[in-house]
Structure 1
């Protein structure tokens, strides 16, 4: 009984001592707490009772954790890693920093631990931090004034905690005298809660409030952090931004409001802002103030919204990147009126993305002021025609993406698009083009034309007869050409003469008739050749002359024999899947063995014992067969196909011996039958002869 009373007394003393130190943080006198705790208090001060109750309500979670810590002594934990003045204690299930931290520690990584109450004791009474990382803990209480003496603290990461619980106490954590970077993301903060962390942060430059539950940005939200240059509010539920909310932030250059619920931006007037991200909202309208003032905005992201009209941008701008993709734009008008086409001057614009909209047309005059544009993306719209005929338009453009529209007409004038390097036209209805349209693009090196209806002109075809085909000869910089899914009927001789192609894709053109000299001129340049799914049964074209060819795809055809190669070939990757190959010529496989690195052979009716050379190559060379599990062959002793890895020469030799024995036995039986018949025939004749001379 005495031992139980003694243990209880010790327990109460521990809790009492902790309560004394805690109450001193909130301004409650130790004498008053002693009186309250012992039950012998004589004061009747209403203020004292209120402050004491407030202290208990605020610090109740801390008392519970203290009791738990006293009842359960800490287990042995792995030591922190110390590198000079930096300490790394992440992922160690710690509730407080070790007592043996080096004096003057500058960086403490205490992320992914079990901290619930952030106090001086939690940080082992150190105040010399420059960088303090506490993300992914369970912090729901911060000792008021904790950061007051941390005059060198520059970076503070409190993300992924439970600071919304602390914010209910309406106590400021400041001052954050020297903090320049503060991360409060993923803390469940509601509207107004961030004020208690930002109220006294005069040096703060970078702030992250990502992934919280903020619905409104009030006018005074950032009034205590006037030095902010970068604010990120990504992934909240912001519906409203009060007028003037960012006006006091004269140094603000980057603002991220992406993935919120903002519906309208009118009178945009942040002239010093350089980067603005409003993607993934519900924007139906974006308009800047009608002012002659210059704006510093360089990057504007309005993608994934609900805008029907082109944004009204500042007249004097230095915009370099504009993204209005994945909206509902039907024209480039700034309002519903057809007479208000976007006529903003884009003298500095380099990147314009209007993909995934509902644009019906794109007038050439729209590019009038785009003197520096390098990338134009209008893919996945409903554009039927596109033309650039004026020499002064799009002089600097390097990439144009017109893929997946409804293009039927395409026109490029002489001396236009002289710097264009990549042109994407896949997924359109192009069938009839000027046969030399691509020769007008002297710098083009990447041309995507799959999923159209184009035919290829012969190199010697007259211009008058070339109305239904396009030419790909004499294009000195073209290296990548994709003509798959074009319903190509023929590939004429010298189709790519004087064009140094490195990659040529002719796949998915069933019934393609290739001339034996169709690839002439590509002997030293062609590296990748794709001919899959063309129903080819016999490849007439001589591939052995393509000395530079390294990768070839002949899958899903009807080949019964391999193309011929010699020892000078450079084939490294060969895809022969889904063909009708029964026997692989040993001489061809031997010629490929010195260069071949990767071979695909699945889904062919191979004969096991007729391909021992291939079997030897697979088992004894460095050739990799990625689909080896699906490569099977037919063996007469087995009712089911046999995996090629399980075939041995003995299986075939044994089969040969057995076949020899059977043949010998059958031959012997046949000879015996023949001899028997001869003997019987002779005996029959002898009997007839004897009868004829009987008396």
Structure 2
């Protein structure tokens, strides 16, 4: 049995006594909502069977898109609280008797997209509370008579796309007294005869038999007289459908009829509708029937069913409509004529429709707003999207006093004036997206006092002028995405006192756009989207005018995915003013560093996304102000350690994503620093299979609270013996020591240590020096015996912290390379892309004749700098040469210096250099550095000018 399986069994036995559920499940995720309801998500995980040891309290289980072939008797035996089960898109062909016997609370069961052939009597035993059963897209060709007798509360069955070729094959369904909705579309039904139906539940009100090649529809019995909705759309047999309705009152309860795409000519359709004169039809779908105005179908339908309220005629071939077509449809409330070829409409077309509220004329060929719409005083929604309308005038909407929603998307409107919508006093939503608007010169009309949503996305506007929105006091959503906006004039948002959401993504906004007071007037803004713009800064220096300092109410900010080089430098006070911020999405910005004060302005932040950046190291104090943080996303940043979590108060953090980094070890201290963590995602990291990870390996599958997402997929990158193996296969038992033996060794060592402590305290560094000197001697002899000659690629490897990069680039690099012609190795310029960082460090240090360490307080805090000076220091002993030059940029107290600096002083006190504070001493500093670089060029002794140059104040 796999290791994880054994662990799961042990956990289960422990939890039987502790009533605690483990959260790390192989191939599954667990989510608890505010009502303490547990969801388990195992979809698209390549599972071949239902996972064992699922938590008993699970309410929602998703096993869709897997390879499960059968459901066994014990598959769900402990899931007594399960309400929803989605096991669609699998390969299930068999369900054992009793598979659901313990899931008596199940209400929704989704088995769509499997390979079931037979629905047997005992298959669904135990599901007495099931209300929805979805069996579509299987291969069902037989249903046993008593298959559903146990399902006393079943209301909805979907058997679409199966092989039930005849209605009498569905007797078991029609015998269910609780059934309200039945879907049997696409079953290759060729005949629909009520004679084949013995009985129908009295409460069955919806029947979908669409997409069947029905050639004969025979209603010769009253079994369907309670039916409210009948869908026969897209019934396309080889020959036109023959309707045989013996008595119109056999369908007297019918109110909704779908006949779209049916294989009948207009006269045949009209005959059917006229036959149903006993039904009070309210909704009729006549879509995709190739109807034209010459068919006269609209007039006759309105004449025979004058109480019709909804009429769908989309997808036909109307180029116009007769003036009196809707004259008898006096109760019509919703008319959809989208996707036709309408160019003009009679002015009086809708005058006889006093109750018309929704009118869709989208996807037609109007070049102007049809005059027919201006006379519909009752209209509340008008959709003219995706026509060819070039201009609009005030007269187009002169009498539409009740319109609340106006959609003009996808036209070619290039000009908007103030008085265009002057009469739309009740307008709440206006969509002018995907047009050709270049600018809006005049403010929107003061009559739009109720407008809440204004969509101007995907136009050609390059700037926003002052005051154009000042009359829109009720506006809550303003969408300006996908334009070319680069300039926002002062006062552009004045008057928008209730604006909550502003979308400015995918424009040409730069740092220059954010002038002082750019958001003046939008003080109640809660959601600001600035994704995919051109914001960038030359440095992280403090801004004189932070862009968001007026947005005290802002809760959500999206600045992700800036174009070109991204927002590489993040100004230290960029977020100043965001006193109420809850979410910040700043992923994919190429940020390489963040000042430790960056988030001091956002103490209320709960969700932060910094994924897909270059933050390969994080300051210990960066997240210190974020004590309320609940979600942190740091995927794909090149982070090599989780050490930052140990130094910050993450007491509220519930989700931490660090997938795709360079983390190799997770320690006990890091785990303890996240007390409320619910989800930890560490996929695609190069873990080390060693005892350093033993705490993480023991904690991950056994902790009762935190779920390590997809833990079973984590692989090892080192050591070579474990490379590509699963992390969980590493046996931590090899890390467990014999405590009695340890106690014995400890006591013995303590006695010896007590005897030698005084001697070692005084002479410890001399002992270390002697050891390494001897070791270097033997190594040197061995190398000489091999006759190896070393060829160097560089004169010096420069080790420095990124915060000192300015000094290196502006002072060190020009002098040594340009003035003295030394060849330097810099990590950002000369490291080989795609290799591990540590490999690059080792190879380039040993490929350089010298190593120059630029020492500062930042340097001593850097983990990578520490590794670089370690490698350089050990190289001294390895090659028995003076290869290390230390440059101190500032005075550093002795307690800050690591043992490597102390060891260096013990070996050779001649090449410590200090950057002078006096300008007149700088030239002498470069001369001494040049002389230090020359040592080792053919002889081991140092240049006399450099010899003896020691800083006694450096311990």
Is the pair's TM-score, using the shorter chain for normalization, greater than 0.5? Answer: yes
2:452 is the counterpart of 1:374: yes
Question: Which residue does the alignment assign to 1:69?
Answer: none
1:189 and 2:271 correspond: no
Distance 1:602 1:331 in 2: 52
Whether 2:484 is the aligned partner of 1:410: answer: no
Where 1:246 maps in the other structure, the secondary structure is coil
1:537 corresponding residue in structure 2: 616
Per-residue CA distance 1:506-554 (angstroms, 9 max, x = gap): 333324542212211433x211112223312332243244221111122
Partner of 2:81: none
Q: Is the 8 A contact 2:530 2:558 kept in 1?
A: yes
Q: Deviations over 1:462-497 (max 9, x none)?
A: xxx84xx54323533111112222525233258435
Change (3 A) 1:403 1:629: farther
Count residues in correspondence. Answer: 571
- Residues 590, 248 of structure 1: alpha-carbon distance in 2 compared, 3 angstrom cutoff: same
What is the rounded CA distance, in whole Å, between the counterparts of 1:362 and 1:425 in structure 2?
A: 16
Q: Determine if the alignment matches structure 1 residue 475 to structure 2 residue 475.
A: no
What does residue range 104-115 of structure 1 map to in structure 2 within 5 Å?
111=184
1 or 2 for the larger relative contact order (CA 8 Å, sep ≥6)? 2
SS of corresponding position for 2:673: helix
SS in 2 for 1:365: coil
1:221 maps to 2:300: yes
1:259-308 superposed Cα distances (whole Å, 9 cap, x missing partner): 334344463641432111233444444312496x5521111222233433
CA distance in 1, matches of 2:669, 2:142: 71
Assess, with a 3 A threshold, how the Cα gap between structure 1 residues 567 and 619 changes in structure 2: closer, same or farther: farther
- The residue aligned with 2:626 is 546
Rate the CA distance shift 1:641–1:389 in 2: closer, same or farther, 3 A.
same
Is residue 618 of structure 2 the alignment partner of residue 506 of structure 1?
A: no
CA contact (8 A) 1:253 1:274 kept: yes
Aligned partner (choices 274, 283, 286) of residue 206 of structure 1: 283
The equivalent residue for 2:406 is 322
Of the three residues 317, 334, 344, the one matched with 1:254 is 334
Question: What are the superposed Cα offsets for residues 297-348 of structure 1, whole Å, 9 maximum, x if unpaired?
Answer: 1112222334333487341111111122233333348xxxxxx984552211
Counterparts of residues 215-614 of structure 1 (less than 5 Å): 215-216=292-293, 218=296, 220-222=299-301, 223-265=303-345, 267=347, 269-271=349-351, 272=354, 273-289=356-372, 293=375, 295-310=377-392, 313-317=396-400, 318-332=402-416, 342=420, 345-387=423-465, 389=467, 393-411=471-489, 412=491, 416-431=495-510, 432=512, 433-454=514-535, 466=544, 469-473=545-549, 475-484=551-560, 485=562, 487=567, 489-493=569-573, 495-497=575-577, 499-523=579-603, 525-540=604-619, 541-561=621-641, 562-565=643-646, 569-592=651-674, 594-609=675-690, 610-614=692-696
2:540/2:571 contact within 8 Å kept = no
* In structure 1, C-alpha distance between the alignment counterparts of 2:637 and 2:225, rounded to whole Å: 73
Distance 2:681 2:152 in 1: 54
User: 2: distance between equivalents of 1:371 and 1:298?
Assistant: 16
CA gap of 1:602–1:135, structure 2 versus 1, over 3 A, is: closer
Which residue of the partner structure matches residue 145 of structure 2? 78
Equivalent residue for 2:216, pick from 129, 134, 141: 141
Greater mean alpha carbon deviation, residues 92-101 or residues 638-647: 92-101
Q: Is the 8 A contact 2:226 2:253 kept in 1?
A: yes
Separation in structure 2 between the aligned mates of residue 552 and residue 125 of structure 1, nearest angstrom: 59
Distance 1:479 1:152, change over 3 A: closer
Counterpart position of 1:44: none
Q: Cα distance 1:129–1:197, how it changes in 2: closer, same or farther (>3 A)?
A: farther
In 2, Cα distance between equivalents of 1:634 and 1:100: 57
2:473 and 2:495 in contact (8 A); partners too: yes
Q: Quote the Cα distance in structure 1 between the aligned partners of 2:203 and 2:484.
A: 61
Tell me the distance in 1 between the aligned counterparts of 2:455 and 2:730: 54
Aligned equivalent of 1:646: 729
Contact 1:265 1:283 in 2 (8 A): no
2:180 is equivalent to residue 180 of structure 1: no
CA–CA distance in structure 2, aligned partners of residues 578 and 88 of structure 1: 44
Secondary structure of the corresponding residue to residue 276 of structure 1: strand
Mapped partners of 1:447, 1:105: distance in 2:
49
Q: Distance in 2 between matches of 1:439 and 1:108?
A: 54
Kept after mapping to 1: 8 A contact 2:453/2:478 = yes
Is the Cα contact below 8 Å between 1:85 and 1:107 reproduced in 2?
no
Q: Structure 1 residue 640: deviation in Å?
A: 3.2
User: 1:459 and 1:416, CA in 2 relative to 1: closer, same or farther beyond 3 A?
Assistant: farther
Q: Could you say if the C-alpha distance between residues 290 and 518 of structure 1 is closer, same or farther in structure 2, counting changes exceeding 3 Å?
A: closer
Query: 1:446: Cα distance to partner?
Result: 0.7
Alpha-carbon separation, structure 2, partners of 1:90 and 1:128: 18
**Counterpart position of 1:679:** none
Does the 8 A contact of 2:358 with 2:381 survive in 1?
yes
Counterpart contact for 1:80–1:87, Cα < 8 Å: no
2: distance between equivalents of 1:264 and 1:474?
A: 50
Q: Partners in 2 of 1:408 and 1:101 — Cα distance?
A: 64
For 2:253 and 2:439, how far apart are their aligned partners in 1? 54
CA contact (8 A) 1:457 1:470 kept: no
C-alpha distance in 2 between matches for 1:614 and 1:362: 59
Q: Please report the TM-score for the alignment, with normalisation by the length of structure 1.
A: 0.70
- Looking at structure 2, the residues matched to 414 and 487 of structure 1 have their Cα atoms a distance apart, in angstroms, of 25
2-side partners of 1:383 and 1:246: how far apart? Answer: 41
In the TM superposition, residue 194 of structure 1 has moved relative to its aligned partner by 1.8
- Aligned to 1:589, the other structure's residue is in SS state helix
- Deviates further, 272-281 or 147-156: 147-156
User: Residue 205 of structure 1: CA displacement?
Assistant: 2.0
TM-score relative to the length of structure 2: 0.52
Quote the RMSD (CA, aligned, Å).
4.6
Q: Which runs of 5+ in 1 are unaligned?
A: 1-73, 334-339, 655-666, 675-695
